Structures are given as structure tokens and as C-alpha cells.
Amino acid sequence: MPALCLVLGLLWTGPVIAESAEIIALGDSLTAGYGLPAEAGFVPQMQAWLVAEGVEAHIVNAGVSGDTTAGALARLDWALAPEADAVIVTLGGNDLLRGLPPEEARANLDTILSRIAARGLPVLLVPITAPGNYGPEYKAAFDAIYIDLAAEHGALLSEPFLAPILVLPDRQAAMTEYVQPDGLHPNAKGVALVVEALGPEVERLLARVK
């Protein structure tokens, strides 16, 4: 009997603890948390949301303020740490601010998604909606980038990053309450709305982690 107990004791090592998945949040100032206290940006608020939901995951902030799709592509190799299990891609806002051609943003995002796919990592692509001041053709071409590339690369596609704010019935009141004075970046309350909308999408992303 003692020998049997010893054998069983050697075979049983206790419950297996799954390691926390690592998500790389690749983006620009919207991801980086521009203009906000460290704890109020998109990544820390999304991390807190996941913890509250009991989700085992760690998000790495790979957002760089001012980054275009070209800038993100240039730093992609070092941004994708070897430990990465999944990627959230939120890019395109600075391409829009500079009025860069939609075909350039499309080509850069296409390459970014291809390189991520080569690593076997699932992706959540978060669109940025073009304003109408560049004309309807520009807007249609830019907005289509995310739909087309998500389909081509098999990436998850969420609603646009700022949609939870922009869909509120009183646009002027929403901008005052949820957006910083620059009119571009959400404040802490605005980020909370974004996180509430994107949280379930991040859970869907994690479900794809192998």
C-alpha cells in the first residue's frame, strides 16, 4: 500500500494552471492612452475589464502616439514579442489626419496582418472611421479597408474604436462628456465606453488562442 501511494503521488502533480495569454495592443495614441493618467488609458482599462470578468490575459501596450500604419509596420517585428499569443490592431487614425492615400494604409495594414498571420497569431482588427471632409470617395475607400482585410486574413472585425461615443444620440453632448478638448481622443469616461463595447470582442479573440 505505501508503494502504491508513492506511485500515485508521483503521477499526480496537482491541477494544471493555464498560463495567462499575452495580447499585444498595436496602435497609435488611441491605444497608447494619449492625454490620460496611466491607469485611465485603453490598455489598463481593458486589462481591468478582463480581470473583472475572470479572464486570464495580459495586455501589452504597443501603442505609439502619432504612429501611422507605415510607422507601425516599421516597428512591427520588435513590437511582436516572442511571448505574444494574440494581437489587437487599431491603426489608421494618423493616416486620416494627414490625408494619406487610402491605398497606402491598405497596403501597410495588409502587410502587418500578413506578418502577424505568419506567426500564427489571431487578430482583432479595430476600424477607424474616416470623416466626411475628404469627400465620399475617400471615405468609402478608407472605411472599406478594414472590412476587406479582415475577410482576406480571417481576422476578427470589431465596430470602429470610437463608435460607442459617436453613436450616442446627442453628438455634441457626447463630445463634451466623453472626448478630450482636442476633439480627437476619448477621455477616461469615453475609454470606459470603448472598453465596454470591445471587451467581448477581446474575449472572442482569446477564444482563438491555441
Question: Tens digit of pLDDT for each residue in 55-94?
Answer: 999 999 999 999 999 999 999 999 999 999 999 999 999 9
**Which three-class secondary structure state does DSSP give residue 133?**
helix
pTM of this prediction? 0.89
Residue 185 annotated to the active site = yes
Q: Residue 198: what pLDDT? A: 98
Residue 29 annotated to the active site = yes
Record the cell numbers describing residue 136, joined without a space: 465620399
- What phi and psi, each to the nearest 5 degrees, are found at residue 21? -70, 145
Q: Residue 19: what pLDDT? A: 63
Q: Residue 3: what pLDDT? A: 45
Q: Residue 210: what pLDDT? A: 85
Residue 58 annotated to the active site = no
Q: Which of 28, 29, 67, 95 is catalytic?
A: 29
List the domains of the chain with CATH numbers.
22-207 (3.40.50.1110)
User: Where do the H-state alpha helices sit in 80-169?
Assistant: 93-97, 102-118, 136-153, 163-166
Averaged pLDDT, groups of 10, the chain, 210 residues long? 40 43 98 96 98 96 97 96 96 97 98 97 98 95 98 98 96 95 96 98 96
Beta carbons of 58 and 21 less than 8 angstroms apart: yes
Q: What angle in degrees, to the nearest 10, is found between the helix axes of 188-207 and 42-52? A: 60
